[in-house]
Structure 1
Amino acid sequence: MRTTVLVDVDRPERILAYYSTAPCEIAPPPGVPAWRNDPHPVPFLRMARLASDLSVRGRGFGELALLAAIEDAATISRGFTAIGGLVVDAKDQHAAVFYERFGFVRIEKAGLQLFMPIQDCVSLMDEPGA
């Protein structure tokens, strides 16, 4: 597992947000044509944790941490390591909606496990201003 921490530039001892990722495998998500007939688990990068300090909630640090995790998945893919994308287990429906705003797709209709296909991770990071 790898943890990345976003700190206050003026006070580096102050943690504003963090995320942790780890490699994993999941069953091929439904609705992805490339995996429709593949019975084998697909390697993914799992975002195991994402949090921001309560004192800075609503100021975009959680979003920055999420974008950094998406960039990590894109970087892994560009390094010629085949992964399906970034997967996350939302803690509740509110968190699931947060991830959906960034293009994550629920694996099950009302479930809390969501994923972003690797091509979307790469495309998002290739956008101007990303």
Structure 2
Amino acid sequence: NSKPAPELLNEYSRKVDFLKGLLEAEKLSSSMEKALANQFLAPGRTPTTAKERTPATKTVHLQTKARCTGQMRSELLGTVRLTSDEKQSAVELDAVLQHHQDMQEKLAEEMLSLARSLKNNTLAAQNVIKQDNQ
């Protein structure tokens, strides 16, 4: 008489399988994979009457689903905060880009200067040729 009813054993094994699946889903790397794995978990039956309370597995399933959805939303909308290493590399990248822009401006000024002196030399040579022809 101390042996539990087969229905109770089936319910316990379903709960254990659900929790195993939940743990496996948490091990996945991306939040999209977690959400997809969470979709396939069977949290147990939904209450059919108002007096019945929602099973804990169903509550856990809904909470996990909400967390995965929130993580995906954060990733999609870019609200995930940068780590200090990422911030540092962004600052370094900005410095490199600024340095390249400064170099390009210097080169442009130098090219203008060279173009002006070429123009002056050409005009001087033109005047010398005119004087020689006279």
TM-score (norm. length: structure 1): 0.27
Higher helix share: 2
With structure 2 as the length reference, what TM-score do the two structures score? 0.27
Higher strand share: 1
| Higher RCO by CA contacts (8 Å cutoff, separation 6 or greater) | 1
